[in-house]
Amino acid sequence: MKKSHIFVGLLTLCTAAIVLTGCGSSSSSSTSSSKKDPQTGEAYPKTMKVGLMEGGPESAILAKEGYLKDLGVKVKTTTYSSGTSINNAIVSKDLDAASFGVSPFALGVSNGVSYKAVGISYVESGNIEALVSKKSITSIKKLKGKTIGVTFGTTSQYALVKTLKAAGIKTSQVKFKDLSGQNIVAAWKRGDIDAAYTWSPALNSIEKTGNVLSTDGKLKSQGVEIPEVSVVSTSFAKKYPTLTKKYEQAMLKVYKLVKNNPKKAIKDVASWEGISESEAKSQITENDWLSGNVQESYLSSGKLAKILKTVEVFNKQQKNISSVPSSSTMSDAIDASYVKKALK
């Protein structure tokens, strides 16, 4: 398994290297402003840098609907293929805000990435992430001795280990291969892997010729919740609390579209991810999307903190980190005040 020193090493890479490994594409809104934040008096930045997650339906809707154009400053968006790449970009100050899974968020907290969880778009469910095997493998138990592709440090890795454990399979009984989404597809076609746990668009590609053995939805029914967390750099949130609130308001618009016009949301996801509407549908209809009030409760009640601790313990067991952060460190990484303000 990947060691924690590998992740820490990545955080020290130069910005250029991080961009090469993390970015898929970028774009900018045309709005700019010289206003000051009314709460702090700090002059707004020329550009707010927002990360979008490849295969993230909330990112797809933000991009397609242009919700970030209402923030009052120019916004540059960059697409990333994994949460680890987002962590690296925040450390290098290439990003101010983003939304990704709880597992890379936990890795970031444990490695000292300075950001706050300010919202939760949804709890993963349905087949937004899934375990797919070759046709000849008809059950999870038959994965013993097989090679499984997964992106280390992601919610898929977390979900995969939880799935194997539920089936009575130890991680020592399988071989994990650390692959990005595109490389999972290539390895699948070559026959280098017997199975993979991944998300769209790689998932949509490999499931056409494989068996879906398990999904995040099945894990959720077993009590394993994997929230999609919105984060903002601590320094950015401190200097620009109003912009942070507006970012959360943009995320709440995503929720409203999903609930009020799911067909439009599905079209957005399909168009942005380059998949069919039938393939995109589950990302909208099967995920457990959270209203602003539920998000605020999730953050302030300690529910996210409890999940975060569970994931941190998991990462320690998998030797992704050397030690579990203190309770105060985990609590400090969660701030419900911005979504609360966004609701007013």
Choose which CATH entry (3.40.50.720, 3.40.50.150, 3.40.190.10, 3.40.640.10) describes domain 129-221.
3.40.190.10
Choose which CATH entry (3.40.190.10, 3.30.200.20, 2.40.30.10, 3.40.50.12280) describes domain 47-123+226-343.
3.40.190.10
Kindly state the tokens that stand for 164: 């194997």
Q: Render the burial of 167-196: b for 16+ CB within 10 Å, e for the rest.
A: bebeeeebebbebbbebbbbbbeeeebbbb
Output the CA–CA distances (angstroms, integers) from residue 17 to 183, 215, 244, in the order listed: 19, 33, 28
Residue 106 host element (H or E): helix 102-110
Domain boundaries, the chain: 47-123+226-343, 129-221
Q: How confident is the model at residue 25 (pLDDT cuts 50, 70, 90)?
A: low
Q: Which residues, 6 or more positions from 236, have their beta carbon under 8 angstroms from its beta carbon?
A: 48, 96, 97, 243, 244
Q: What percent of the chain has pLDDT over 70?
A: 90
Q: How confident is the model at residue 19 (pLDDT cuts 50, 70, 90)?
A: very low
Q: What's the average model confidence in pLDDT over 210-231?
A: 96
| Tens digits of residue pLDDT in 132-157 | 999 999 999 999 999 999 999 899 99
Provide φ and ψ at 28, rounded to 5°. Answer: -135, 150
Query: Residue 115: beta bridge partners?
Result: 233
pLDDT value for 320: 87
- Give the least confident one: 64-68, 152-156, 260-264: 152-156
CATH topology of 47-123+226-343 equal to that of 129-221?
yes
Q: How confident is the model at residue 3 (pLDDT cuts 50, 70, 90)?
A: very low
| Tens digits of residue pLDDT in 294-336 | 999 999 999 999 999 999 999 999 888 999 999 999 999 999 9
| Tens digits of residue pLDDT in 69-116 | 989 999 999 999 989 999 999 999 999 999 999 999 999 999 999 999
Give yes or no for residue 41 having a pLDDT over 90: yes
Q: What is the DSSP letter of 274?
A: T
Kindly state the tokens that stand for 288: 């457990």
Give yes or no for residue 15 having a pLDDT over 50: no
Query: Residue 30: beta bridge partners?
Result: none
Compute the distance between CA of residue 322 and CA of residue 320 in angstroms, rounded to an integer.
Answer: 7
pLDDT value for 28: 52
pLDDT value for 193: 98
Q: Which residues, 6 or more positions from 233, have their beta carbon under 8 angstroms from its beta carbon?
A: 90, 93, 95, 96, 97, 114, 115
Give how far the C-alpha of residue 258 lies from the chain's centroid of Cα atoms, to the nearest Å.
18
